[in-house]
Amino acid sequence: MANAAKRRATYEDVLAAPAHVVAEVIYGALYTHPRPASPHARASTRLGRKLGPFDDDDGEPGGWIILDEPELHLGSEPDILVPDIAGWRRTRMPEMPSASFFSLPPDWICEIISPSTEAIDRSEKMDIYAREAVAHAWLVDPITKLLEVYRLGDKQWVRVGTWHDDARVRAEPFDAIELELATLWAR
């Protein structure tokens, strides 16, 4: 007897997931994981605050729309991803649409690495971001206190640099400001 073809997960599956989990559809499979633990949430919150000047309408450096946990629907049979932070240059998205999800790929994503999501964040999700021509990606690990910065080059990720502990960093595309990594790990 032949195995029945496995049904592709859909947006309805994401909507039906329990409220206490993050649900994503990656290459047709539904993935759920718990809301982030405190080191993860703290690093994400603090990084978002540090990047706030880029999302400022009337100040410098400006030029971005930056969002926490936006839902992205990418590709023709959409992969549904939820990066921890994502940013769009205002030249590509001048106004933020009133929508529950975004189909325009961001220009930058940041995944805060958790033990439960690290393998998917580093592999499938990074592959999808490359496929969709996201120009920059940051992977932040609050446990090992590490920042990895990537730039998309010829459809593949090029690691621009890695920094750890209390390094002071000017990392693209936000190199107009200096980021003190120790502030991301503070408890």
Q: What's the pLDDT tens digit per position in 23-42?
A: 999 999 999 998 888 888 99
What is the pTM assigned to this prediction? 0.93
The CATH homologous superfamily for domain 36-185 is tt1808, chain A (3.90.1570.10)
Q: What's the pLDDT tens digit per position in 58-105?
A: 666 889 999 999 999 999 999 999 999 999 999 999 998 999 999 999
- The average pLDDT across 14-19 equals 94
Question: For 78, phi and psi rounded to 5 degrees?
Answer: -55, 135
Q: How far is CA 78 from CA 42, 57, 74, 135, 157, in A?
A: 30, 31, 5, 19, 21
The answer to whether 80 touches 24, Cβ cutoff 8 Å, is yes
Structure tokens at 46: 């603090």
Cα–Cα–Cα angle for 173, 83, 47, rounded to 5 degrees: 55
